[in-house]
Structure 1
Amino acid sequence: MTVAPNTASVARKPSIRRQVFGRLGPRPGLQLVILAGVVAILIVLGSNIATTMARIGVTPGFAFLKSAANFEIGEGMIAFHAGDSYARAIAVGLLNTAKIALLGCCLATILGVALGVMRLSSNLVLSGLVRWYVEVVRNTPLLLQLFFWIALAQALPPPRRAITLLDAVFLTNRGVYVPGIVVRDVSPGAMLILIGIVGVWIRLVWRGLRNKRTGLQAPLPVSLMSMFVFGAILAASDTRIGFEVPAVSGFNIRGGFSLTPEFAALLVGLTVKFSAIIAEIVRAGILSVRQEQWDAARALGLHNGKIMRLVVLPQALRVITPLATSSYLDLIKDSSLAVAIGYPDLMNIVNTTANTTGQAFEALLIVVLLYLALNLAVSALMSVYNTRVALRGEKSAS
């Protein structure tokens, strides 16, 4: 005896209309009306902007990027002179912002981790000082701090009466001079190739150091080849690289690596501000690790330094990394306050471009897209790192 299938119980594939409206959630009609209203508002705003620009004689578009800029830029990673294009000027500002963001994130992380660990010290004086530092810095506006640091930098003595540290570091009202590797007469193409080679070499050496079985044997041939190519590029491009220590020469200081007062003030301000924020993040991450992990590590005979490095931090990073990512993104965005102290970052140069060309809307769109690209790149890199530390933390906990 055969039983006929119950067709009512057979699931039917929903129609395309039901699938589309199902993804929209409840009240799809209302959502579509709101979306249409937003699009209509954007169209009206765009039409009004185009009409206003036409009335004042400004042609919309990005053709102005090829025009010659009639201003100078005080400092930059690539050469710029009045008469170069606006596109090159914006590139200088973008590189300046990327430089201050990279250095600020690194220094704020190093100082923040140290302060976060000291905040948990059993020494009441040390933990108390760090607590007051964190509270004062976190509850003070960054703009006010930048004004303080730039005023302090400008109050330093002239080069001939510079404040000297170990006869190698000079603090003056013209900037901070430190020993460093100085690169001269390098073309942008050669610089990109050199950075790529150094990055690959560092990556391979790091992987070799982490591999206990092979050590440095695996990356050694590639390292030798990289150094050979490195030297060939230097010889072909007439690039000069050397280590210099600054010294007083006449009425100025020559040699070494110099930081302008504006750059130094911005870097110190961002580092101090976000190191306090990262310190609290690190403290919270360490406290999130259960006490049993400490007790088990001590039972194995590990001292506090190894416990922190091998047991606690790998697990705490699962809490620290997402919050630190938000701090890095805030640091990049807050670097735009450099316009208040005269550092030629992306916002400063784009603002000057808008004032000299009248293309305010296009300039605003450019700066939004560039800051968005920087933040998305940092967010993507930190997301990859967060995935790795999460897996490593799970292994440590188990």
Structure 2
Amino acid sequence: MSRESMKITGYRTLTTVHRWGRPIGDVNGHVAGTTEVPIVILETDEGLEGIGLGSHRDLDRLFPALLGEDPRATTALYDRMLAFVFKSGHSGATFGGIGALDMALWDLKAKAAGEPLWRLLGARDRYIPGYASGLEIAVADEDLAQLYSGWVERGFTAVKIKGGRDLASDRRRLEIAADLFRANTTSPALMFDANESWNRKQAVRHISALEETLDLTWVEEPLRRWDAAGLAAVSQAVRASVATGENLTGLDQYRSLFDSGAVDVVQTGSVWGVTHFLRVAVLAHGHDLPMSAVSYNTNPLAHAAAAIPNNLCIEVQDLGSPVGITVDQEIADGGIVLGDAPGSGVVIDEAAIRQAKGANGWTDPVGPHFRPERAGLRLVPEQV
């Protein structure tokens, strides 16, 4: 197969579902347990195809930046997509479309080279340490042991709990999680995620109260994603690190956080793509800050995480894959072990996917997963 003049000729989309087997969500709401998984497939004149996951938004506006181009020019094509929408802005939903296409480009580049993406990106080790994160806020206390048993059996020593409204419940659930993961270590790493639900003083009070009895590794998104001064103040007031960044859509949005000392653990969302992750990682490395990718179906940033010098750990939200998707990786030894399949290792069964039933979406504007009107405006912890 010639590699001299490969060209992108088209794309197609599919939507499958992920069946979690439990309700999933955070303090802003939860969904019943089945979510949609958009898939983007880039086609080339040589028959090679690249797979991206995460969003179908604005693909028609973005694809002209790729049509007829060699997909191996990954970073140049990423910038070309940004340039095509610079007048109307790249952030928000449009950035999700860029991310899905970017994943597909990197998948194509590695497949063309006949190598797994982690090796193409320069990684030495196929293993990435991880932490358990079951999005478990709607799972009852008595069911947490069953939920997290798979992660414990696979050697995980770190776990993240969702919360932010009920202090007593948050403390209790963190203690339950700590007890479960002590099967693998005497001192499990405990993370706590408030999903932007507090104001500055609420965050300090709530975290400080938890820290009276718990050693938190980090608190995630205690304030709104853009509040650099507030996040810096929280970081200075509590022992735990502040982790944030998963909802920032572009390198430019991190500048004020770095300049203000507002982030201790730098995060990116998997759905924003490989190039975004790599660029944020370089910026973070220049500030001596660790990176931690926020997970998505099939853990698409795991290959990139293996290749950066400042990777701390990656979130692992589930132990299975969406309907019709298999991925060449093993969740073991407290993290992800990547395989040798060329590209990102994602293989799709289009026939099975076409039979997949629809599902509740995270982004439905009428909920159930949306920020409450009184978020950040509560005088006392709320009992739920």
Q: Return the TM-score normalized by structure 1.
A: 0.23
Q: Return the TM-score normalized by structure 2.
A: 0.24
Structure (1/2) with the larger helix percentage: 1
